[in-house]
Copies of this chain bind each other. A is one copy, B any other.
Amino acid sequence: MSELLSDKTVSDFLAQLGSDAPTPGGGGASALAGANAAGLVTMVARLTISKEAFAIHAPRIQEIINAGDKARIVLEKAIDADAEAFEAVMSGYRLPRATPEEKAARAVRIQEGLKIATESPLNIARYSAEMAELAAELAEIGNPQAISDAGTAALLAEAAVQGALLQGCINLKSLKDGDYVAAARAEIEQLIERASNARSRALATTLQKLA
């Protein structure tokens, strides 16, 4: 196992992203955007819970800190998990296909890899959608001095949801398990709707408080 992407410096990560190396790609960039959103969520929450003025919201803010810290760690890990999921698909396609047995084994491995490479962005989108909603909530009840950070968290989280799901959609096209594909498509629609609503709500609240 080579060095983790999350252990690279920000500068080196960006340089590798900008190269023609297959990973990190859009999935890893989406996971990083989601992790950034989670970081902003907990920053705003911490700048709220430390102030007497918002003591009434302290129990809920502590829940948000816990959820945000967890999501940040999950999404950071997802940067590398997404690269591994890509490799799972590629390793299937590289298998030999000279005999009918090899062809069948290869097809099975490709289908397994495609499911892993669909689950990975779905997982990024699930946690990022939650971050978009928590950001919208913080725009309402959080420290107004950090209102622009709450708004930015919602923007980045929504982009992470949609970006991750674009990656997932590619793999769905080649998946043959109809029930799985239908369930995944339904969840994708729901995640996009949740994230879009949260972004709109957070942005409206933020612009209103900034005005």
- The size bracket of the interface on A is 35 or more
Q: A interface, by DSSP: helix, strand, loop or mixed?
A: helix
Cα distance A158–B203 in the bound complex, in angstroms: 13
Question: How far is the CB of A176 from the nearest CB of chain B, in Å?
Answer: 18
Q: Which residues of chain B are within 8 angstroms of A166 by Cβ–Cβ distance?
A: 148, 151-152, 155, 206-207, 210
Q: Which residues of chain B are within 8 angstroms of A29 by Cβ–Cβ distance?
A: 36-37, 39-40, 149, 152-153, 156
A47 at the interface (CB under 8 A from B): yes
Does A11 contact B18, Cβ atoms closer than 8 Å? no
A159 at the interface (CB under 8 A from B): yes
Q: Which residues of chain B are within 8 angstroms of A72 by Cβ–Cβ distance?
A: 14-15, 18
Q: Which residues of chain B are within 8 angstroms of A155 by Cβ–Cβ distance?
A: 159, 162-163, 166
Does A47 contact B20, Cβ atoms closer than 8 Å? yes
A120 at the interface (CB under 8 A from B): no
Closest 7 CB pairs of A and B: A17-B39, A152-B163, A26-B152, A18-B39, A20-B46, A159-B159, A26-B149
